[in-house]
Amino acid sequence: MSSYLKCFFLFEYFFCNVKYLFFVFSKGSVTSLLLKKLKKTKQNSTYHMSEQIQDVAATNFEFLEEFPTSLEQAQCVLHKHEFLICGSLERRACYSFHTLKNEFKFVCEYPSNVELRGHCVVKLVDNNKDSNEITLLSFGGSKYVTRHTLTMKYVSVWSNDSNNANDNESNKLNNYNQWTLLTDSHNNPVHIGSGDDDYQGVRVVIGGSNKNLLFITYSFDNISVFDLNTLQFIKHDRLPTKNEICYHCFVSKTENVQEMTKTNEEKKKNKNQMWFTFQFHQISVCDDIAPFRNYACVCINDIILFFGGYCYRDGSFSNLVYKYSIQENTWMTFQSTLPNPMEGCTATLSEENTDIYIIGGQNNTIMELPIYLKTKVRLWDVSQLVIICYFNTIYFITN
């Protein structure tokens, strides 16, 4: 059976009425980027903004252990019951947060010559889910911000709570838990991004039939495909917009969601080269969230949740939570809000997909926040509720 990558990302289009959502599909060796235009009419608004404002409890968010330092634009990767926080805006320190212990541990720092401003960190796919080792890839920069392309072989800092000196020394000798240069088979450094590429606020999704392709979306209106096997770029294109994209939403669409359009396939030119065809289809974005960026977002089954954000129209910060249903193409604003207006925070799902963790950010007083919030998925996605019918009465079980 062919494998699929189904991705979705939201770009902010400021000072114009047309907003865009993008989906990326990949079937085997073929990829199409979809953008479908919808017209807004008085009779039947294609924005599909739900008139229903869902009322959920004011105690939706639980404050967890305060973070060791304030942070904004943090990059967070899930590894079993750990969240690896790999640097943030102008801060090179990396930490692990253990969700069961509710504790932090320091992991390492980026090299002193690395400047972090809107960088990206992804976990490379490993078919051995039982392995205690994972590989991280970090890259970013622009012609104004020092570029970096680094990898880390990470082993859990929680595997030996006694902090045995021999184990720590062994990790150092094997370059575990340290950022090192990405190199090819001849030990030559490999660079992701060069020239005028502006990776501040870059967003990335891993896909392809073998999960070896990086789909990179970045300012001004670019999408590139980087092959992790050959360590080369194999495709570049421009997105159909006159407005800049950065700090946007770009997430994988789950496989059980119905495809919204057919994939356009092209044959391989030869055994070693793949051809990618990008197609664009515009779909709806509600007016309220359109001018925002730097929000936290997370995809759960058929829905995408958006938390907070920064409005470029008036400089305001948001405390609102939005939900977009991919299958129904509808938007909803929740009555329950974040504890504070914030932007630059990061949202990550727990391993069991039952909890959402929101990390750091900046509030409307321009103060970076050392906070760690937790909220239940079932509070925002009613499909997570267990429904029991008994004598014509419906009970929602929310354990």
The secondary structure element, H or E, covering residue 381 is none
Q: What is the pLDDT of residue 257?
A: 35
Q: What is the pLDDT of residue 242?
A: 73
pLDDT above 60: residue 195: yes
pLDDT above 80: residue 395: no
384 or 318, greater pLDDT: 318
Residue 186 DSSP SS3: coil
Mean pLDDT estimate for the chain: 74
Q: What is the pLDDT of residue 129?
A: 64
pLDDT cut 70: percent of the chain above it: 67
pLDDT tens digits, 260-285: 323 333 333 343 445 567 776 676 77
**Res. 229 pLDDT band, cuts 50 70 90:** very high
- Peptide bond preceding 220 in cis form (omega within 30 of 0): yes
209 or 350, greater pLDDT: 350
Nearest to 168 by CA among 108, 93, 114, 223: 108
pLDDT above 90: residue 19: no
pTM score of the predicted model: 0.77
pLDDT tens digits, 329-339: 889 999 888 88
Q: Domain limits of the chain?
A: 4-397
pLDDT above 80: residue 236: yes
Q: What is the pLDDT of residue 275?
A: 57
- The Cα angle at residue 53 between residues 52 and 58, in degrees rounded to 5: 155
Rounding to the nearest 10 degrees, give the CA dihedral for residues 255, 261, 262, 265.
Answer: -90
Mean pLDDT, range 165-180, rounded to an integer: 72
Separation between Cα atoms, residue 346 and residue 359, nearest integer Å = 5
Residue 119: count other Cβ atoms within 10 Å of its Cβ.
26
What is the CATH topology of the domain spanning 4-397? Methylamine Dehydrogenase; Chain H (2.130.10)
pLDDT tens digits, 73-132: 899 999 999 999 999 988 999 999 998 998 899 999 999 999 999 999 999 987 666 678
Separation between Cα atoms, residue 376 and residue 381, nearest integer Å = 9
pLDDT above 80: residue 170: no
pLDDT above 50: residue 287: yes
Phi, psi of 368 (to 5 degrees): -70, 145
Contact status, residue 33 vs residue 223, Cβ threshold 8 Å: yes
pLDDT above 80: residue 60: yes
pLDDT above 70: residue 398: no
- Annotate 178-199 with b (16+ C-beta within 10 A) or e (fewer): bbeebeeeeeeeeebbeeebbb
pLDDT above 50: residue 50: no
Q: What is the pLDDT of residue 370?
A: 64
Q: What is the pLDDT of residue 382?
A: 64
Separation between Cα atoms, residue 381 and residue 358, nearest integer Å = 17
Contact status, residue 54 vs residue 332, Cβ threshold 8 Å: yes
pLDDT tens digits, 240-262: 877 788 898 887 775 543 333 23
Q: What is the pLDDT of residue 185?
A: 93
pLDDT above 70: residue 390: no
pLDDT tens digits, 337-378: 888 888 989 999 998 889 999 988 887 666 666 667 889 998
Q: What is the pLDDT of residue 29?
A: 28
Q: What is the pLDDT of residue 45?
A: 33
